[in-house]
Structure 1
Amino acid sequence: MDDRVREHATVLVDWSARVEAGDDVVVAVSEGSHELAVAVCEALGDRGANYVAVYDSDEIERAYLRAHDGDFDEDPGFERALYERADTVLRLGRGRNTAAKADVSGETRQAYRQRHTGIREARMDTDWVSTVHPTRSLAQQAGMSLREYETFVYDAVLRDWESLAEEMAQMKTVLDDASEVRIESGDQTVEMRVDGRTAVNSAASVAYDSHNLPSGEVFTAPYATEGELTFDVPMTIYDRQVRDATLVFEDGEVVDFAAAQGEDAIAQIVETDAGARRLGELGIGMNRGIDRVTDNILFDEKMGDTVHLALGAGVRRLSPGRRDGQRVGDPLGSDRRRERGLPGRGGRRGRATERAVPVGGGVRGRRVARRRRAGERHSRSNRSATASGSYASSISRDRPRPSTSA
């Protein structure tokens, strides 16, 4: 086994999930991630945790969805019970075919997702973390050889996370102190409010309200979005390519949209429910181990010196009361030009327009109760949970320039 696989497992179990002796851990294993699963379960055994492995296969789910009549049971109790009794869920993706469910109708997928909302929420109430093992399918999707892609993945995952967390704490302070953010791209501008929000320093650990490995972004939940922006790098939404997507916001909601390709995928997103038309996330990518677009949201949204936007429900700790939407399609914009006033080493940061930026950050250390086997509630230090979901992304070649106003 490649030593980097074991290092990946160690970072996932110790830094990201903070697994302790006696914890009940669900390990969701996709096709192609067997080697990482072996290393992860070895680490769990060494730490005295309990585990259940489940096979998380897109190909199996495709077969099920295509055969089903579409009248799905709501939150099957046996599956929900697994996550309600778990302390941690580790999802190891993805499989042999990144477009395995491309021929499943959007209506069927949406119905299945909506009828499993309770299961998804139960899973997200654990200390869950998603990561990927480098596979040939992901390498092909990224346009790399397998060896090149392995190096890319481990450069993104095996970081000095404590140092990066300290750097990102400065950007968190910028967003926490700002009242408005403006993104400019050519002659297009999008403005959004961020006052009253608390940004997340997403340092690849549940201790930082962060549930992806790799991570390396600072994000917040904006509101009152106005303006228009076009994203000209292809993105994948529901296994479909979307090119040159344009979103128009008025009164905080998407009122118009267009795309040169895949416009129906955008329509599927914004028609999910009322909350899906609102901007749910503004993120600043700061992981400089990620230096190129790979058509994989787990990496693309964290790429150093980029900005990304996501439609749908925002993270619940950032925007109280805004739970009426799915977190869905995620166009990205990037800019590598240095502006005045914001911290960090070279690369785009945006512009603070009024006051100086103090250094801040650190582990939240908030205790969050979760269910145990007997249904009792318990708490553990340095843990917290956020709402999230899977969504697709892209990066704008026009390099939109973000700025903040206090």
Structure 2
Amino acid sequence: MDERVHEHAEVLVDWSARVEAGDDVVLSVAEGTHDLAVAVAEELGDRGANLLTTYDSDEVARAYLRAHDGGFSTGEHELTMVENADVYLRLGGGRNTSALADVPSTARQKYATATAELREARMATDWVSTVHPTRSLAQQAGMAYEEYRNFAYSAILRDWEALAGEMAGMKELLDSGSEVRIEKERTDLTMSVEGRTAVNSAASVSYDSHNLPSGEVFTAPHATEGEVFFDVPMTINGKRLRDVSLTFEGGEVVDFSAGANEGELETILDTDDGARRSGELGIGMNRGIDRFTDNILFDEKMGDTIHLALGRAYDACLPDGEAGNASAVHVDLITDMSEGVMEIDGEVVQRNGVFRWEEGFER
């Protein structure tokens, strides 16, 4: 086994999930992640955690969703399991990244709505999602398998403590700011971040961060106004969305278009009232990610990108007692800022993908 698999497991268990002796851990294992699952199980056993393993297969999900009549229940049996867990670890990496492509959008929408309580329960645990580099992900990224593995581990096996220190400056700017403006071709968007708390997403639950790799600073914007163009293609629910344009008025999407699979975008927006509002503004800062791979876990963390999520806002960004945007979906869309400007309260923070504290920033 590649030694980097063991390093990945150690980072996941120690740095990311902070697993301790006696913790009840649910380990969700996708089809192609056997090696990583074995390494994670060894790490959990070494720490004296209690392990329950579940199988996560897009092909199994496809069969279920296509056969069901659509009257989905909450899934009380799975809810009970998650509510009794301290830690929930998801290992992604299936055999076919388009396995769900022919599942009707209405079925996915109904299932997402019915299982909203289950997702909330998962998010109440110390949950972390990661991926094992598989051949299907390499193919989706248009890369040779070994090339993709090198890419993935360069993003995952980082000095996370050092990156957390660097990203702290962006968090401070967002926390003290009132308005963010994004300008580039076909984009002029403003949003309020006043009263919000940004998350320094350094791949650890101790930072309110739940992805490995991570490397972004995100917050929960509101009062979003203007137009935004997402020029980074992204496969969502097995459908590849490309060249997405959104127009916001009064904080809500009032017009939209897509160069491919516009119907899928419409289905997402029609999920519920919150799906037409922005739930997240994320600023990518992981310089270990140097290309787009059609995988949101990596692409949204890339150092010269910004992403917005339609739907659910994260509680960590909200004042105590305040409810943010609620939705059964949280769908990220990415725009490349290599030719664009981001301002906070009128001050340029990033120009053409370079942050103002980095070498090469044009003042």
TM-score (norm 2): 0.92
- Mapping 1:256-267, distance limit 5 Å: 256-267=255-266
Counterpart position of 1:271 = 270
- Within 2, Cα distance between the matches of 1:268 and 1:228? 20
Deviations 1:271-297 (A, max 9, x none): 111111111111110111101000000
Cα separation, partners in 2 of 1:260 and 1:187, compared to 1, 3 Å: closer
- Within 1, Cα distance between the matches of 2:156 and 2:186? 36
1:334: how far off?
A: 2.4
1:327: how far off?
A: 3.6
2:38 maps to a residue whose letter is V
- Within 2, Cα distance between the matches of 1:77 and 1:258? 38
Cα separation, partners in 2 of 1:43 and 1:246, compared to 1, 3 Å: same
> For the Cα contact (< 8 Å) 1:183–1:401, is it kept in 2?
no
Q: Secondary structure at the match of 1:130?
A: strand
Q: Which runs of 4+ in 1 moved over 4 A?
A: 351-357, 398-403
1:249: how far off?
A: 0.4
1:324 maps to a residue whose letter is A
- Within 1, Cα distance between the matches of 2:145 and 2:354? 34
- Mapping 1:167-206, distance limit 5 Å: 167-186=166-185, 188-206=187-205
- Within 1, Cα distance between the matches of 2:205 and 2:50? 19
Counterpart position of 2:361 = none
Q: Greater shift after overlay, 148-157 or 76-85?
A: 76-85
Deviations 1:69-90 (A, max 9, x none): 11122x2222111101100011
Q: Secondary structure at the match of 1:109?
A: helix
- Mapping 1:233-312, distance limit 5 Å: 233-312=232-311
1:117: how far off?
A: 1.5
- Mapping 1:347-386, distance limit 5 Å: 350-352=342-344
Q: Secondary structure at the match of 2:316?
A: coil
Q: Structure 1: give runs of 5+ residues left out of the alignment.
A: 338-347, 358-397
1:324 aligns with 2:326: yes
1:251 maps to a residue whose letter is G
- Mapping 1:8-157, distance limit 5 Å: 8-73=8-73, 75-157=74-156
1:93: how far off?
A: 0.6
- Within 2, Cα distance between the matches of 1:301 and 1:215? 9
1:224 maps to a residue whose letter is A
- Within 2, Cα distance between the matches of 1:147 and 1:324? 40
Counterpart position of 2:360 = none
Greater per-residue strand proportion: 2
Q: Secondary structure at the match of 2:126?
A: coil
1:152: how far off?
A: 0.5
Q: Structure 2: give runs of 5+ residues left out of the alignment.
A: 357-363
1:179: how far off?
A: 0.4
Residues paired across the two proteins, number = 352
Cα separation, partners in 2 of 1:179 and 1:402, compared to 1, 3 Å: farther
* Superposed CA RMSD: 2.1
Cα separation, partners in 2 of 1:96 and 1:190, compared to 1, 3 Å: same
Cα separation, partners in 2 of 1:191 and 1:352, compared to 1, 3 Å: closer
1:256: how far off?
A: 0.3
Q: Relative contact order: is structure 1 or structure 2 higher (C-alpha 8 Å, sep ≥ 6)?
A: 1
